[in-house]
Amino acid sequence: MARREAKALVREICNNLLIESISLSFDFLPLPNPPLEFPDFPARPPTELSKIIQQALGISSVDTAGFLYRLEQVIEKEEPDFVKRHIDPDREREKWLTKHSEMIAEQILILQIKDWFYSALDENSPDTDRWYLAISVFIGLILRGSEITEAQCFPLFNSIIIARQPGNLSIKSTGPHHISWNGETGGNFAEEIAHPSGVLAANSILDIVELYEIDHRTVLPYWLERLSVGGHISNLLNIPARLQNLVLDSNEHASENLVMSAILLFPHHSEESKEILFEICNSEQILLRRNLASNLSRIGSEDYKFTQILLEKLLNDKDSDTRVLSTSYLGTLARLEKYTFISLAKTIFQNEDTRMIQRLIESGIRHYLSMNPDDDDSLIPIAWVSCNSESKSKLSGMLIELAKINQQSFVKISSNIFDLSPDSHDELFNRINFRNKKLGSLIKNNQ
């Protein structure tokens, strides 16, 4: 295929995508109003689909130089090394362009609307016609949803919120992850102040996407996670309520994003965050509960008392994987709340859930022994009697390590195991003696 044909194919797909995006956005009229406009020349929103499509195609068709420039930008960014190293790179590039024409066309279209937004959000001379062209394509793209639009359209959404040209200023995320090299929290990270009209436009966009998300897969869950970081923006865009609605109607594909969004809301919307997390804990969606169980440590860093409430429910979840994942948090609990840990651990041993016991041995018991080598609450004998062969192998290794630093505690635990179950003690002796005959003789003599 000639190089000219590959470019023509990409341009054709780009035009088709433009038409499809505008048509999709027109199902949700009226379009958001421009954040910036001259008071003496109020914006006139488009009402006829055919006219705005014709206008957009007309501008694109005469801007051949702009199309080629954007194409080169995408090629420079996306072209793999094997194309550049090929013996005939031009021919190989044509094959690559043809194979990935849809991905390339989507990125070119995003660069096109970025230029339109640049004109529309010019403080000195805002172009409202360009605004409606850009916003109609923008809404259509994010409703279609893709990994490309998730990442590359979000900065444009930021620009709308603050009513600034793309690339000039963007919202800077704040949070404990922003730490300077000297270990102090970076003070130069702050949210950009939102523009009132930009907030109205952004809320209109989110309303449209939220309505469409009910039956389709869009960028909304991914964007809510990013918008949950800052208190100012999340409040203006009503992120807690939007997140709560999405949790109630969620598709399982977005479960990780929804859980993370709720956690990120915690520092500035703690009550709303707790309510959402509790709803997730009681959700019928298994993946939501599993992701919640996987993130108990993060929630615990915000409020470990509330995390204990979630933990107790998740440990009794009907889904086995959720129970096992939540058991991992007991390792953290062993360091923070000794008696709560002991109580929950004993319950797990009594329930005889093999997978939960195995996870408890791997995480919680190790931390418990490091902080309570004397085992005054006799948890280790119960653990030994309850666990399977694989877990006993790990637990016997922990006991050998304990004996190296505290032989008296090792002997005491061995005696307690013998008192609880002589048969289990025989197995303990066999395992210890196989690894360390000196320790084996020690516990044999103390029976």
In this predicted model, what pLDDT tens digit does every residue of 359-370 receive, in sequence order?
999 888 888 888
Q: 380: which strand partners? A: none
For residues 348 and 379, the answer to whether their CB atoms sit within 8 Å is no
Quick one: CA dihedral 276, 159, 153, 168, positive or negative? negative
What are the φ and ψ backbone dihedral angles of 185, each rounded to 5 degrees? Answer: -65, 130
What are the φ and ψ backbone dihedral angles of 312, each rounded to 5 degrees? Answer: -60, -35
- Domain assignment of residue 91, yes or no: yes
Q: 232: which strand partners? A: none
> What integer best gives the mean pLDDT of the chain?
87
pLDDT for res 250: 67
Is 372 a residue whose pLDDT tops 80?
yes
- Name the one residue in this structure whose structure tokens are 């939960």: 356
- Domain assignment of residue 173, yes or no: no
CA proximity to 52, closest of 157, 156, 137 = 137
- Domain assignment of residue 50, yes or no: yes
pLDDT for res 179: 45
- Domain assignment of residue 304, yes or no: no
Q: Where are the alpha helices (DSSP H) in 153-195?
A: 154-162
Is 27 a residue whose pLDDT tops 90?
yes
pLDDT tens track for 203-236 = 999 999 998 887 778 899 999 999 999 889 999 9
pLDDT for res 248: 84
CA proximity to 446, closest of 427, 430, 423, 429 = 429
Q: How confident is the model at residue 39 (pLDDT cuts 50, 70, 90)?
A: confident
For residues 371 and 334, the answer to whether their CB atoms sit within 8 Å is yes
For residues 66 and 153, the answer to whether their CB atoms sit within 8 Å is no
Quick one: CA dihedral 120, 123, 124, 128, positive or negative? positive
Torsion of CA 50, 53, 55, 56, to 10 degrees: 180
Give 365's DSSP letter.
I
Work out the average pLDDT over 262-282: 94
175: helix, strand or coil: coil
pLDDT tens track for 125-171 = 999 999 999 999 999 999 998 889 999 999 999 999 999 999 865 44
- Domain assignment of residue 438, yes or no: no
pLDDT for res 445: 66
Half-sphere exposure of 321 toward its Cβ, with a 13 Å CA cutoff? 9
pLDDT for res 178: 45
Higher pLDDT, 334 or 326: 326
pLDDT for res 362: 85
Number of domains making up the chain: 1
Q: 185: which strand partners? A: 179
Q: How confident is the model at residue 107 (pLDDT cuts 50, 70, 90)?
A: very high
pLDDT for res 169: 52
What are the φ and ψ backbone dihedral angles of 387, each rounded to 5 degrees? Answer: -85, 165
Packing angle between helix 64-78 and helix 3-25, nearest 10 degrees? 100
pLDDT for res 404: 85
260: helix, strand or coil: helix
Q: Which amino acid is at 277?
A: L
Residue 337, Cβ density class (10 Å: 0-12 exposed, 13-18 middle, ≥19 buried): middle
Q: Where are the alpha helices (DSSP H) in 121-191?
A: 128-144, 147-152, 154-162
pLDDT for res 180: 43
For residues 5 and 120, the answer to whether their CB atoms sit within 8 Å is no
- Domain assignment of residue 153, yes or no: yes
- CA angle in degrees (0–180, nearest 5) for 335-256-309: 40
Is 199 a residue whose pLDDT tops 50?
yes
Distance, in Å, from the CA atom of 135 to the CA atom of 130, rounded to the nearest integer, reads 8
For residues 307 and 277, the answer to whether their CB atoms sit within 8 Å is no
Distance, in Å, from the CA atom of 65 to the CA atom of 245, rounded to the nearest integer, reads 45
Q: Read off the tokens for 206.
A: 């989110």
- Domain assignment of residue 155, yes or no: yes
Q: pTM here?
A: 0.84
- Domain assignment of residue 178, yes or no: no
108 Cβ neighbours under 8 A, 6+ residues apart: 10, 14, 67, 70, 71, 74
Domain range for residue 134?
Answer: 1-35+45-167+195-213
149 Cβ neighbours under 8 A, 6+ residues apart: 106, 110, 141, 142, 219
Half-sphere exposure of 3 toward its Cβ, with a 13 Å CA cutoff? 8
Q: Compute the chain's Rg from CA coordinates.
A: 30
